[in-house]
A and B are shown apart, each in its own frame.
Chain A
Amino acid sequence: MERTAYMLRLLPLLALGALAVAGCDDAYAPLSGPRADASVLMHQELRQEDRFGLPAIATVFIPTDLKDAYNEAVPAGDAATFRSLVVAKLMAFGQDAASAKALAGALTPDIQPIDVSQPTGFLNGRKLDDDVITAELHLIFGSNAALNDDHVDANDEPFLPTFPYLAGPHVQ
């Protein structure tokens, strides 16, 4: 009897909790908050400012005077427009023509490839904890031990095991 009364007293709380969960889980509709149609972006032509596929590739291989053009370009044009620059740079780093060409072929178009039927790990997708810089330094500098590893192997904060996976912010 006492227990039933206790549960009855809990009911409103449970109902609130269920509502809160439902609110979180589905259709968050900011009826009183900002609405999407209030966005200044609606019905406008928007021009690309930046793009990102493979980490650090544009940085290392695209010269300063072409950087803006690269950021505003589409990947489908990368092979025609930028692949020769990548080959030249790789050869300047000491690679022979054949390996430079093969690697440049893998790096252009500048897109992050992933086969979702396979386990993820750079270059099949990119996990948060993948040491992509060392992987790329190895690709670029081969066995040159002075330059093929930055010796920073992991993030400074542990990642979360569940969504959103990212570590919380550093605050003061």
Chain B
Amino acid sequence: MFRLCAAVLLVLVAAAGITRWIKASDHKDSALLAADHAADIADVYTFRSPVHPDNVVLVMTVSGFIPPSEASTTFFDPTVLYQWKIDNNGDAVEDVVIQAFVTGTGGHQVMHFRGPAPASQIGATSRVIEGPETATVPVSNGATPMIASRSGMTVFTDVRDDPFFFDLVQFKKIIAGEAAAFRNPGIDSFAGTNVLAIAVELPSARLGGPRLGVWGTTSRQQF
């Protein structure tokens, strides 16, 4: 959860005047994130489909704190590979992965999906899985979701309301020693903000299981 981290770090940065630690980035920065916004994972959700109990739903959100004024002008970064890594035998090593990446620019992006399939490379270095895509969907660009399904896997991607809720502002005050307690009622610091979201629903049997361990990653080419 980078944005929580960012909040904590911002406090530290402010306190100590440290700025050198912040990674250089050629991508959109924000005051709160001050880092690689496009590759910045906000949250990962994994749940059984409420509609089809044999399906599992995977959601990844990135590039948090997109204000309403930038909802229609914030796009995916075609140089980032988004992945779900799934361990299905309890050793904390990915057995299957689902990959997603976009091509195209502006409001004409298309997201391509590969997997679930064995990772062609395990660990912190990844490659796009060779072979055909398992699904493709245009980035929706609007309130009405554009959804694609192929072979039982359903996919969607677009800017959406950030599903996360938390009184981050008060948390920051607590961390900074400016408050001793949360307020009641709290105020959702994420209310009214957007994220870039990717959602996949597929039969959970295709991931193995029934016990799974899921995490999300973002990767880039290193120069």
Contacts and interface: CB of A to CB of B under 8 A. Distances in A.
Contacts of B159: 169
B217 A48 contact: yes
Interface of A: 24-30, 33-36, 38-53, 55-60, 62, 64-65, 67-68, 71-76, 78, 109-120, 125-129, 131, 133, 146-147, 149-157, 159, 161-172
Contacts of B181: 146-147
14 contacts: A35-B103, A46-B125, A50-B36, A51-B215, A58-B1, A74-B93, A111-B213, A114-B211, A114-B214, A120-B47, A125-B47, A127-B47, A169-B160, A171-B143
B48 A116 contact: yes
B101 A59 contact: no
B133 A115 contact: no
Nearest to B156: A164
Given A34-B110, A46-B220, A56 B4 contact: yes
Given A29-B136, A166-B199, A169-B161, A47 B124 contact: yes
Contacts of B48: 116, 119-120, 125
Q: Interface residue tally of chain B, by bracket?
A: 35 or more
Interface of B: 1-2, 4-5, 7-9, 12, 21, 23, 36, 39-41, 43-51, 56-57, 59-60, 67-69, 71-72, 78-81, 87, 91-93, 101, 103-104, 108-110, 112, 123-128, 133, 135-138, 143, 145-150, 154, 156, 158-161, 163-167, 170-171, 174, 180-188, 190-194, 197, 199, 201, 204, 209-222
